[in-house]
Homo-oligomer: A and B are copies of this chain.
Amino acid sequence: MSKRDDILDRAEELFTEHGFHGVSLAAIAVAAGLGNAGLIHHFPTKRKLYREVLRRLGDELEGVVSDALTGATGPREKLATVVRVVGTWSLQRSGRARLMMRELLDNVDRVDKARTLPLARFLENARDLVTAAQAEGLVRDGEPLAILAQLFGSIAYAQIARPTFAKILGGKLLADDRRWMATIVADLEQTLFA
């Protein structure tokens, strides 16, 4: 793995845990095993480093979904595939799901287009899928994006809330990861389809 990727990995961990403003360049540099100036040599500004971290995330999500969609035919199967893939992705890559959530909370007040583009493509495709499924009467009526938001929200939030719930309630009361996520994903299709 290149040093550049190594830096991105460390930075991603830190951004995921503390958010953009909660992480200093110095902290990233230490985590990546180099000095402040060495870090800036690879990424000219903190913001560009952060953008690069998000780009990797967006690319991965888009890739995973579009890969899974190649075999699927028809709106219903496609939509069900998206739900399943996003669910397992959030389970396996819970850190990235958390980071994506942070970005959704933050980027309202950001102007940078480039960062939101990968997410935009993903969203548009998913929305068109819902609309198509609605046209065939497969999916219940309602604002398509709201349905999507509910869908991804169920998954993402469940993933994010888990450690917090565990901490707040003192642990021990939670089932294992698989059962937790199974509870959520298993019913999403049933929820979704009319």
Contacts and interface: CB of A to CB of B under 8 A. Distances in A.
A161 interface: yes
Given A19-B106, A149-B161, A154-B153, A168 B101 contact: no
A175 B104 contact: no
Contact of A147 (B18, B156, B183): B183
Interface string A152-194: 1111111011111101110001110001111110110011000
A44 interface: no
A116 interface: yes
15 contacts: A19-B105, A19-B106, A21-B22, A104-B157, A116-B167, A119-B168, A123-B165, A142-B182, A143-B175, A143-B180, A146-B179, A146-B183, A149-B157, A150-B183, A191-B191
Question: Which of A127, A152, A168 has the most chain B CB atoms inside 10 A of its CB?
Answer: A168
Nearest to A162: B149
Contacts of A105: 19, 98, 101-102, 105, 160
Interface string A96-130: 00100110111111000000100110011001000
Copies of this subunit: 2
Contacts of A157: 101, 104, 149-150, 152-154, 156-157
A17 interface: yes
Contact of A150 (B146, B154, B164, B190): B154
A191 B186 CA distance: 12
Given A19-B106, A116-B168, A168-B116, A153 B143 contact: no
A140 interface: yes
A107 B145 CA distance: 29
Nearest to A16: B105
Contact of A143 (B104, B140, B174): B174
